[in-house]
Amino acid sequence: MDVSMAHLRILVFLLISAVMLDKTTGQSTRSKPAKPKKAKGKDEGDLRAQINKLWQEVNSLKEMQALQTVCLRGTKVHKKCYLASNASKHFHEANEDCIARGGTLAIPRDMDENNALRDYGKKSLPGVSDLWIGINDMMKEGKFVDINGMTLNFFNWDRSQKQPNGGKRENCAMLSQSTQGKWLDDVCRSVKRYICEFLIP
């Protein structure tokens, strides 16, 4: 019995030594099958995907920080920020300037937004009577859409002046302070002040 107990102790010792050796050297006493090269490539692909995801998150955070800066300089309404222009431009130049800043010309989607835009325009651009908004009928006469070509569900035309009344000559919309935020159509080459809109995710 003493002999078998001694053998058992030796076997346990050897087993523990083998496990310890495996953990310290990173190599097993049994030979491991080599990983196929595809697994390594898959691991690298997963790592690249994680790095790309992190970069997207960093860029998203940078955009959010930029939007917060815009909101601080302008005003925030619902999930939008408005920022008034410092210059007067024709419709296309105004929209290009807004795009370069990360937004578009302001597009009121309901009466609350229209009133907020009107009030912000009065406060930030005193004495300015007309502002470009991101609405036009350049693609099809009489069918006004937003700057991205999307159909609108809200309109605030000044019906007392039978707006829009410019026919094929006046294709761009402006918000008029003199009519309390009603819209008029005008020649797109006219030079006006404008307000950019930035969507907040």
Digits of tens for pLDDT over the chain (201 positions)? 444 445 445 645 654 655 555 555 554 445 555 555 555 667 777 888 888 787 777 766 666 666 666 677 788 888 889 999 989 999 999 999 999 988 999 999 999 999 999 999 999 999 999 999 999 999 999 899 999 999 999 999 998 988 888 778 899 999 999 999 999 999 999 999 999 999 887
Q: How far apart are the first and last CA of the chain?
A: 77
Instruction: Name all contacts of 81-84 with Cβ < 8 Å and 24+ positions apart.
Output: 81/197, 81/198, 81/200, 82/106, 82/116, 82/117, 82/120, 82/195, 82/196, 82/197, 82/198, 83/195, 83/196, 83/198, 84/120, 84/121, 84/124, 84/125, 84/193, 84/194, 84/195
∠ CA 171-175-179, rounded to 5°: 120
pLDDT the model gives residue 116? 95
pLDDT the model gives residue 29? 46
Please give the CATH superfamily to which domain 58-199 belongs. Mannose-Binding Protein A, subunit A (3.10.100.10)
pTM of the model: 0.66
